[in-house]
């Protein structure tokens, strides 16, 4: 089933989540190739964009197949969000997503990420600023709330809708949980019943059975896959029941080739260290891969690991 966000028609209602360290251009390309209706960048600092911080532009890399796509901004100052959303470097993206879920201490203590949920009126201002700056549909990704057992997602989603958000994504874990425990999708259901814009459910979707369960529990319009896609970009075809072929070795080489178009080889090597552990997950050689990538110091070393463990597997 397709999903429309603002005036942007997605290819499917399955979305690849923004994950720091993983949602880089190469893996987004693969997820889009296997049927993700939307891919979203790693979180990008609004102030970093405005001030031209080193490394920010690398997060904005895209490929011809990675479309529709969204850029995820984080910030707590509407003025900086406005300026960032207006930045020419974001012109290629179809949607602006505002991060209201990051639990990391450095981000949270700066009043950004999931800390925004403590101030719904600021959420409204930030969404308005992003809309006015970009002229594009704006979405928000948020959590159940900040403190355990105190859900505020409905209030925050309504604030986002008031600011003109075109959709909201709910990851129903609390900031205090980080990524542990189970997602409470009764909270996602409550948001769905409260707002009139599309609601995207995120959390614990790893296969067809869990997708069907979350559909039943939430009545959501779209479904975001995060950790369930790592090492398995084909999960989107699997969930959509589209025929596909997955050659892990060839996919890894394609992943590296896309990255090399945008990053220096040492950066590519460091990115692939993370991904190779997931490509090997569940295999008898998974521990050996973890050890080997830990000892790798160059892209040549990474290619050696790929040839040793993944060829003809």
> CB neighbours of 241 closer than 8 A, spacing ≥ 6?
none
Catalytic residue among 31, 102, 140, 156: 102
CB 129 within 8 A of CB 82: yes
CB 211 within 8 A of CB 239: yes
- Does the structure show a pLDDT above 90 at 267? yes
pLDDT tens for each residue of 35-68: 999 999 999 999 999 998 777 778 898 988 877 9
Averaged pLDDT for residues 282-290 = 96
pLDDT value for 72:
97
Name the token pair of 245: 């072929």
Confidence of residue 1 (pLDDT cuts 50, 70, 90): low
pLDDT value for 56:
79
Confidence of residue 96 (pLDDT cuts 50, 70, 90): very high
- Does the structure show a pLDDT above 90 at 129? yes
Q: Is 102 a catalytic residue?
A: yes
What are the angstrom distances between the C-alpha of 128 and each of 76, 195, 279, 281?
13, 17, 40, 42
- Does the structure show a pLDDT above 90 at 256? yes
Averaged pLDDT for residues 195-218 = 98
Q: Would you give the end-to-end CA distance of the chain in angstroms?
A: 33
pLDDT value for 313:
55
Give the H or E element holding residue 218: helix 208-218
- Position with higher pLDDT, 178 vs 142: 142
pLDDT value for 64:
80
pLDDT value for 2:
81
Task: Write the secondary structure of 59-121 as one string of H (helix), E (strand) and C (coil).
Answer: HHCCCCCCCCEEEEEECCCHHHHHHHHHCHHHCCCCEEEEEECCCCHHHHCCCCHHHHHHCHH
What are the angstrom distances between the C-alpha of 212 and each of 71, 191, 217, 255?
28, 19, 9, 30
Averaged pLDDT for residues 173-193 = 92
Q: Average pLDDT of the chain?
A: 95
pLDDT tens for each residue of 224-245: 999 999 999 999 999 999 999 9
- Does the structure show a pLDDT above 80 at 133? yes
- Position with higher pLDDT, 50 vs 177: 50
Averaged pLDDT for residues 244-254 = 97
pLDDT value for 266:
96
pLDDT value for 157:
98
Residues of each domain in the chain carrying CATH 3.20.20.70: 4-240
- Does the structure show a pLDDT above 60 at 119? yes
pTM assigned to the model: 0.95
| Torsion sign, CA atoms 111, 115, 121, 124 | positive
Give CATH for domain 4-240.
Answer: 3.20.20.70
- Does the structure show a pLDDT above 90 at 269? yes
């Amino acid at each position: 089933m397709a999903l429309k966000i603002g005036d942007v028609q997605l290819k499917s209602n399955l979305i690849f989540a923004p994950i720091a360290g993983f949602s880089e251009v190469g893996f987004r390309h693969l997820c889009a190739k296997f049927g993700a209706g939307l891919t979203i960048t790693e979180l990008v600092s609004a102030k970093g964009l405005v001030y031209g911080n080193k490394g920010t532009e690398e997060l904005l890399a895209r490929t011809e197949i990675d479309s529709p796509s969204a850029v995820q901004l984080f910030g707590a100052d509407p003025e900086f969000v406005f300026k960032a959303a207006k930045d020419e470097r974001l012109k290629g993206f179809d949607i602006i997503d505002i991060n209201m879920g990051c639990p990391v201490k450095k981000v949270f203590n700066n009043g950004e990420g999931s800390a925004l949920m403590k101030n719904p009126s600021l959420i409204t201002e930030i969404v308005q600023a992003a809309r006015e700056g970009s002229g594009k549909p704006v979405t928000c990704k948020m959590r159940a709330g900040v403190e355990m057992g105190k859900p505020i997602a409905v209030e925050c989603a309504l604030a986002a809708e008031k600011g003109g958000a075109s959709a909201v994504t709910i990851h129903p874990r609390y900031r205090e949980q980080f990524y542990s425990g189970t997602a409470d999708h009764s909270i996602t259901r409550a948001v769905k019943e409260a707002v009139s814009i599309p609601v995207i459910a995120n959390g614990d979707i790893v296969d067809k059975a869990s997708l069907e369960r979350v559909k039943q529990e939430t009545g959501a319009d779209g479904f975001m896959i995060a950790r369930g896609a790592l090492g398995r970009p084909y999960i989107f075809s699997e969930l959509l029941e589209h025929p596909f072929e997955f050659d892990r070795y060839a996919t890894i080489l394609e992943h590296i080739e896309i990255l090399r178009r945008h990053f220096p080889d040492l950066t590519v090597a460091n990115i692939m260290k993370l991904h190779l552990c997931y490509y090997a997950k569940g295999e008898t050689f998974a521990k050996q891969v973890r050890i080997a990538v830990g000892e790798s110091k160059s892209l040549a070393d990474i290619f050696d690991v790929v040839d040793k463990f993944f060829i003809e597997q």
